Structure formats: structure tokens, C-alpha cells
Amino acid sequence: MISNKIIQLASDMAGDEIPKPEAKAPFLIKSMGVRRGESALIYTIPSHTGARRYEKGVTLSEFEKAYAQLQSAGHLDRSWFNSELSACAKEGSCNFTTIGGVFEILGLAKYAERGRYISAK
């Protein structure tokens, strides 16, 4: 179950950077919290104005669904994300690369090209 790994990651790697292919500033793991009424990995994103960092999050059920897609199809792409995790996509397109980056940290996926991660196995 990927949820346990996400919870452990939030605890062990708070403050660490999430790999992002095109980010100009770091996106950082913060902690576990709540998004869309569910337990979620919370991360911070840079403010373009230099103000306080913003917070976003991906729920454990969204990670589970994305992991199932990665296992069955061998990849994740943005079109799947936009249609199958629409609430997550609506919060911010950066949630897609957060899922991919977290899967990279866990050794489950690697960035292939813009809008696509492939299974690392």
C-alpha cells in the first residue's frame, strides 16, 4: 500500500525538496495534513512575489489511484491526471509533478518527458 510509504516520507523528509523537472525554485515536503476532506501530503511552493510560501496537497487516495495507474499502464501522463484526478488537478497543475516527484523519491517512477512519468521497474 503506497499510503504507508507516503506517510513515512512526510515524516522522514519534511523540509526536503520534491524533484520537479522545470521548477525554478524548490517545492518542499511539509507534513501530513488534510486536503479535500482526506489525509494528504502537504508541500509548500514558492511565491512569485517573494511573500510567504503557499501550501498545496495530494491526498493519499489520489496517490493510491496514481500508483495503480503507474503499475497497470507503466506510466502516468497529464491527460490521465486531468481526467481521473480532476479535483487534484483543479487545485493546481503542480500536483501532477508532485505525484511524479514523490514517486521518483520512492524509486517507483522516473521523469520521461514533459507531462509523462514512466515506471522505474
* pLDDT value of position 39: 97
What residue numbers bound the domain in which 37 lies?
A: 2-119
pLDDT in tens, 5-41: 999 999 999 999 999 988 878 899 999 999 999 999 9
* Region at 115 (left for phi over 0; alpha for psi -120 to 50; beta for the rest): left
pLDDT in tens, 49-74: 667 778 999 999 999 999 999 999 99
Cβ neighbours for 99, distance < 8 A, ≥ 6 positions apart: 58, 62, 63, 66, 76, 81
Q: What is the pTM of this model?
A: 0.94
CA dihedral 99, 117, 47, 42 (to 10 degrees): 10
pLDDT in tens, 109-121: 999 999 999 999 7
Lowest mean pLDDT among 78-82, 92-96, 104-108, 111-115: 92-96
Domain count, the chain: 1
